[in-house]
């Protein structure tokens, strides 16, 4: 084995380590983003259940307060998604470069996965879907607060 061969091997090892690192970062934060959706839906269910129970028990001010908490929760989840999206995007640039290098070395151009997956419409990205979910939850909770404090109170 020549020193040139061992250098190529070390470069291949470095590429594997770099790909592993970038993928682990991406995977962790993409997974957190999916968990965020689950927690948002569970939180919305709890807010709706609490709101309905408060109205059923005739405690309209409590229902209004629960609805205000729902608005705060929706806005909090939206901000968490903004941060998580930033963390996911941080891994896309190195993944793009590393996948390009891997595709070049192997001759398999379809390994350029980050470049291959483009958002196809305005409501097909995770960010758009989460924004719509958070905004819908916030608006409905705000309407519930108005109803609890002013209409029904």
Interval 74-98 mean pLDDT? 93
Q: Give the DSSP H or E segment for 109.
A: none
Give the integer Cα–Cα distance in Å for 152 and 64: 10
User: CA torsion 130→132→133→138, rounded to 10°?
Assistant: 120
pLDDT digits (tens, 9 = 90+) for 98-127: 999 999 999 999 988 888 887 677 777 888
pLDDT at residue 43 is higher than 80: yes
Model pLDDT, residue 123: 73
Interval 18-32 mean pLDDT? 91
Query: Structure tokens of 89?
Result: 């995007």
pLDDT interval class at 94 (50, 70, 90): very high
6 or 98: which leads in pLDDT: 98
127 or 41: which leads in pLDDT: 41
pLDDT at residue 38 is higher than 60: yes
pLDDT at residue 128 is higher than 90: no
Query: N- to C-terminal Cα distance for the chain?
Result: 84
């Amino acid at each position: 084995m020549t020193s040139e061969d061992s250098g190529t091997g070390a470069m291949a090892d470095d590429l594997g380590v770099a790909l592993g690192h970038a993928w682990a970062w991406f995977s962790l934060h993409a997974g957190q983003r999916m968990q965020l959706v689950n927690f948002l839906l569970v939180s919305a269910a709890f807010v709706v259940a609490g709101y309905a129970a408060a109205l059923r028990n005739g405690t309209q001010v409590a229902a209004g307060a629960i609805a205000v908490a729902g608005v705060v929760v929706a806005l909090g989840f939206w901000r968490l998604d903004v941060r998580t999206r930033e963390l996911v995007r941080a891994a896309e640039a190195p993944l793009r470069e590393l996948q390009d290098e891997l595709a070049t070395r192997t001759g398999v151009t379809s390994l350029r996965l980050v470049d291959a997956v483009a958002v196809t419409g305005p409501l097909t990205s995770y960010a758009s879907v989460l924004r719509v979910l958070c905004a819908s939850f916030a608006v409905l909770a705000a309407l519930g607060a108005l109803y609890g404090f002013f209409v029904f109170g």
